[in-house]
Structures are given as C-alpha cells and as structure tokens.
Structure 1
Amino acid sequence: MARVTLQTIAEQVGVSRMTVSNAFSRPDQLSAALRETILATAAELGYVGPDPAARALAKGTTGAVGILLTNSMGTAFRDDVATSFFGAVAEELAPTGLAVTLLPLYGSAESIPARDVPIDGALVYACPDGAPALDWLVRRRLPLVFVDREPTPGAASVTLDERGGGRQGAEHLLSLGHRHVGLLTSSFEGPHGIVPDVATAGGDFVARERIAAWTQTLGAAGVRMSAVQVRENTDREGYEGARLLLDTDDRPTGILCFSDTLAWGAVRAAQDLDLRVPQDVSVIGFDDAQIARRARPALTTVRQDVVAKGRAAAAQLTAAIARHRDGSGDADDAVHVVLPTELVVRHSTGPAPA
C-alpha cells in the first residue's frame, strides 16, 4: 500500500498541501466545512495525522511533560498520596492539551527515559539527590518544578510546611502527657532499623524536615525519644519497624509516624503485641490518606491537601514552560509555594498511660 501523505490528501480534495496541514495544526485558518471534508478524506485514506516528531520540530514543543517518580514506580502507584497527586496534576493539565509522561529514576544501558524522551519540562516528585535521571533533566536545561524536595535555586518548587506539620503532631502527644515517644520514618538510604542517634535518621528532604520538627519540639520538652527507620513507605515496613519500638519492656507510649501507611502498620503491630491503641500506645500518622479514615481505630494524623499540591505543581510547570519558551525566564521569577498542614484528631491517640 502506498504511503499516504499530506500531498495525497491535497490531491484528493483539490486543495494545497498547506491547506491540509492547516486542517490538522491551524484549524482556525479554515472554514468548518472545508476542515471537515479534509479530515474525512484523511480518515478514509487511513491518514492519522502529521508525524509527532516532525510536528514537535516545527512547533518547537513536544506537547508533553514528564513526572520523575520516587524510587519505585510500583510503590508510587500503591501509595494513595502519590496517586492522588498524579490525578490532580493530570486534571490541572487537561485543559492545556499537554500529555503526561512518567519517568523512572533509572534506565538501561540502551535507554534512559529522562535523557531520551521528548518533553517540554518536568515535575521532580520526591526524588533523592544524586539520581541519574534528575541529573539528565538538569543537563537538558528543561523547565523543572521540584515537589516535596528542597527548593533548588532558579527552579520553582511546591512543598508542605513540613516543620509546622511535624510540630503539630509532636505537640499533640505532649499535650496528652507522653514522655517517651517513638519516631518511625522511612528512607531508601540507610541507616535502617533502630537509629541510636535520632538526628541521623531521615534520608530525604521531607523526612529530614519532619524529624527535625519532632526532635526540636520533643527535645525542648525534655521528652525521651527512640527512632526506627525503615526502607520503604509501606504498611509491612511500618509493622516491622513498630515492633522494634514496641517489643521491649522500655517501650514508648506514643509513636510519631512519617506517613499514615507506616502508622497503620504500627497500629497492627501494637495489636499483635496485645497492646491497645490508644490506651497503651498512641499512634499519629501524616498525610490524612484514605487509610487514616478506614483504619480501626481511625488515625490521628497531620493532613496535607494533596489535590492542592498537585494543582499548584502543574500550574507552576506550565508557567515555567511558558517563560522558557518566550525567553522571559529568570531565576528571580521562580515561585516557591509552601502549603499549610492541619492536625486531625481521631481515635488513635489518647492520654499517656500511668
């Protein structure tokens, strides 16, 4: 079968090749009737449209943006917070016509998506420092927006008031009279297990900020602290980490968790050790994910507005791409959005046991 081109359609309809091209890329240049005739003829001949690579070259835009994920793509899609964030980003970008491409942190010897995939810009979502994919995005000089990461000079960012949220959780336990508090956090990088020096826990920006808030608030009140760090933000890891804190005679009476997912694992660990939540041990999560409301007892947690975070990140990215395209971008124009948190008290916290 002969290859169908713009010229093939032009000859069939009796118009110029440019007119056919406008039907696909500049519809405002044609009458509705003529465009409908051209598109119908194209469909009849089996022509699906201009080559995407050629169109991108001509327009100077790919029509797509990337999202650089955290360590594991599979883990990200099992995380309620991450999936809600992705959904909000996609919804905000929908009116722009931009497609979303997911970029893993690591590639193969033959292909590194962050280096090879055509995109106009990217969201860097909670990625660790030193990731090869992040290095490639920076080297490509693409417009970037950093989410749940320490703001980078010259690039926009969207973060939570992590320290404010950490203080809210710690102050809640203090108000309930707890004097020995366990800290349960996660980081792909070590150390893992019991952390003798709590100041060394927390591998990434978010974990470091929350731990700093916990230790400063609890330390100022003279409270004893024990810390455990697990590798992944899963309920199973939370379960194992919480057992390290609780399966001892000198156990904490309250646990501050990096996430609701870890907190749910901690609640199950306590129950399996015949400890009552909150009568024997209080548990606080972070995020206000769906599991916080479904858990029994329902989790006290620090709420973040994930939808607002996703929408803000997408809006910052489209603005950065526009500035980059028209040459008006400047390091001083980078916007750093900091979203508030809110303590939500439910049934997993109570007064410290006598």
Structure 2
Amino acid sequence: MPRSRQPRRQATLASLAAELNISRTTVSNAYNRPDQLSAELRDRVLQAAKRRGYPGPDPVARSLRTRKAGAVGLLLTEALSYSFRDPAAMSFLSGLAESCESAGQGLLLIPAGPGRDDADAAAVVQQAGVDGFVVYSVADDDPYLAAVCERHLPVVICDQPREIPGASLVGIDDRAAMRALTDYLIGLGHRDFGVLSMRLGRDRSDGIADAERLRSPNFHVQRERIGGVRDAMSDAGLNPETLTVVERFEHTGRSGHAAAAQALGANPNITALVCTTDVLALGAVDWARWQGIDVPGQLSITGFDGVGEALREGITTVRQPQEDKGRRAGALLMSPSHSGVATVEMLYTELSRGSTAGPAPR
C-alpha cells in the first residue's frame, strides 16, 4: 500500500500531554515555569516536543490569558527615523533597550511625529500591544500623550512634559544646568547673547521667537533652557529682554547653520551663541567657519547634551546621561514595585569646558 502523502499534523499542547501521559499544565510549565519541574521531566517534555515539531505555547494566547504583552511602548515626539539619526535619542534608546533586554521584555517604537491628529494618535496607541509606556520628550499638548494616558497603563516620562498625573519622571534640571553654562560665559565677559532653540511648539515656526512665542511654548525642556539663560542675565544685571532667540522646527545641523546666520543678522553685537542642543551648536560652528569667524576669538558657541561628536569637536556644552536616562526609565517602568505611585528621578549634569567658548572680544 502506498504511503500517505498527507503531512503529519503538528503536535499541540494537548496532544503532547496525552502522548507523555502528563497534564497540559506540566507541558506549559516546561516552557514558562521550569522551576516547577524536575530537570529529567522537563528534558523529556522538550525532547518529545522537538521530535513532534511542537513550537511551544502560543504567545498570543498566553498574552490574552495573562493580560501581559511582554513589551514596552516607547512614545517618540518625532518621526521614527529621528530615533536612529539624532545622537541624543540614539543614546536614550540604547539605554532603554538594554533595560528591556535585561528584563526579557520587547520594545515597540511608537513615533508621534508632528502633524498627526487626535484620531490617528488614538488608533495607533490603542493598537499597541504593550504593558506600559515610556514617553520620550513630547509636547504637553501632544495627542499621542493624551491617548497614552487614556490606556491607564504604567507610564514613565523622560524629560517632558512634567506633572502628568500618575506618571513617573526621569529627567534633569534643565534650567539650572543652562544657567550654570550662561554664568560661565558671563564670567568670561560676555554681555550680548543669542539662543538657538529647538521648536517651541508643535506648529511649524522658523525664525525669531517674539515675547508671545516665548511665553507659551509647549516643550518644557526648551522653555527651561531659555529660562536658565534669562535667569543668569538678570542676576548679572543684564536685561533678558535683549536676548535674541531663534527657533528652528527641524533639529539638524543645517538648522543650526541657518539659525546662527539669522541670529547674528538680527543682532551683530552677539558675542555668545547659546544652543539648546549640541546638534544646533555643531551647525552654528560650521556656519562660523564658513564665514571666517574665529571661534572662540570672535564668537563663543555652546551646546547642550554632551553627544560624542560635540565632545570630539571640543564644543563647550552641558553633559547629561542620556543612556542612563533610558536605563532608569525602563527599570522604573518594569520594577515590580511600580504600582502607579509617581516617582521622580533627577539625574546629574556636568559643564564641559571645551574649546568653543572663550573671553568676549573687546
């Protein structure tokens, strides 16, 4: 009689349990709770499963049963590609991924790029199969953030926004760090300042930020860093209203290049450009070199973040622990003790005196 060409049916948890004359719970424990079985019994189950082509318990069914997805959702304020292009975001992502890996959790990236509406945000966030969210530096009016809060899952915020009910926070004192940097520049004799800033709101705006724009930015980090410059100026007897702030919607070196030109065009007396990120500072330094302006002889330029490229270029900057932020955010979210009680962790910063800041020209 010819042999049947029909493929052998793949084993299931139930059929494997019947073949071995054990309970289905015992088969499941061999995969999910190996400490509940003797080494000999577990080996017998796994060998039989391998022989029969049984892949193990269905992860989808398990997640429905346990109500655990086994993944952390990372909400980003930018397009997905940004997290793999921006050096500070890459460092944060690396630290968070390390934390997830240590806990045996997956990581789902949820890009909350500008220009999305509330319906898009709600759909994306509601479909995310995660056990909690890490929110990385989004605007306080971002629709994705509102959708995250409606999920009623554990949430850890990194940097911004602040004071979200029930959410924990990992961040730094941006205002104090920028004030210390500006105090350093004032000590070098600088009196005329310009600030190159990342965007202050979700709407597109490129240019000089007027008083009204500065009063109502939706990004806490930029607001506080600009505030730190103004605080230092006030305490030194300088008029903070003379501060020239140039905003850029796109966060690139090219943006820093163009913003530096606009700032000096608006106020040629500026002797120090204070950038709210290293990326903008690198662009500003490139512009100064292109113009034949000596840095720091004629113009001092500072950054913020302490990314690798800026440190290699000798940018005077504020170093912050981006990778450690990611680790701490992940560890805090996945901590067994995390039960919705908000925790705040403020990490250290350090002024790095590079070669791009010097005495003010006479």
| Distance in structure 1 (CA, Å) of the matches to 2:302 and 2:137 | 22
Partner of 1:31: 38
Partner of 2:173: 161
SS in 1 for 2:304: strand
Q: 2:208 aligns with which of 194, 203, 210?
A: 194
Partner of 2:84: 77
Partner of 1:16: 23
| Distance in structure 1 (CA, Å) of the matches to 2:300 and 2:193 | 9
CA contact (8 A) 1:67 1:103 kept: yes
Partner of 2:155: 144
Partner of 1:135: 146
Aligned: 1:334 with 2:352: no
| Distance in structure 1 (CA, Å) of the matches to 2:134 and 2:283 | 30
Offset at residue 202 of structure 1 (A): 4.6
Q: How does 1:107-118 map to 2 (within 5 A)?
A: 112-118=123-129
Kindly provide the amino acid, as one letter, of the partner of residue 179 in structure 1: R
Q: How does 1:281-292 map to 2 (within 5 A)?
A: 281-292=299-310
> Per the alignment, do residues 171 and 83 of structure 1 end up closer, same or farther by CA in structure 2, a change over 3 Å counting?
same
Partner of 1:262: 280
> Per the alignment, do residues 50 and 132 of structure 1 end up closer, same or farther by CA in structure 2, a change over 3 Å counting?
farther
Structure 1 unpaired stretches of 5+: none
Aligned: 1:172 with 2:198: no
CA contact (8 A) 1:168 1:302 kept: no
Q: How does 1:41-120 map to 2 (within 5 A)?
A: 41-105=48-112, 112-120=123-131
> Per the alignment, do residues 109 and 311 of structure 1 end up closer, same or farther by CA in structure 2, a change over 3 Å counting?
closer
Kindly provide the amino acid, as one letter, of the partner of residue 215 in structure 1: R
| Distance in structure 2 (CA, Å) of the matches to 1:11 and 1:92 | 40
Quote the RMSD (CA, aligned, Å). 2.2
Kindly provide the amino acid, as one letter, of the partner of residue 34 in structure 1: L
Kindly provide the amino acid, as one letter, of the partner of residue 350 in structure 1: G
Offset at residue 307 of structure 1 (A): 2.6
> Per the alignment, do residues 294 and 180 of structure 1 end up closer, same or farther by CA in structure 2, a change over 3 Å counting?
same
How many aligned residue pairs are there?
A: 344
> Per the alignment, do residues 5 and 192 of structure 1 end up closer, same or farther by CA in structure 2, a change over 3 Å counting?
same
Offset at residue 248 of structure 1 (A): 6.2
Q: 2:246 aligns with which of 228, 231, 234?
A: 228
CA contact (8 A) 1:284 1:349 kept: yes
| Distance in structure 2 (CA, Å) of the matches to 1:110 and 1:148 | 21
CA contact (8 A) 1:266 1:283 kept: yes
Structure 2 unpaired stretches of 5+: 1-6
CA contact (8 A) 1:70 1:76 kept: no
SS in 1 for 2:195: strand
| Distance in structure 1 (CA, Å) of the matches to 2:298 and 2:286 | 13
CA contact (8 A) 1:201 1:229 kept: no
**TM-score where L is the length of structure 2:** 0.88
Partner of 2:352: 344
CA contact (8 A) 2:157 2:169 kept: yes
> Per the alignment, do residues 125 and 342 of structure 1 end up closer, same or farther by CA in structure 2, a change over 3 Å counting?
same
Q: Deviations over 1:195-221 (max 9, x none)?
A: 233734854010011111111212343
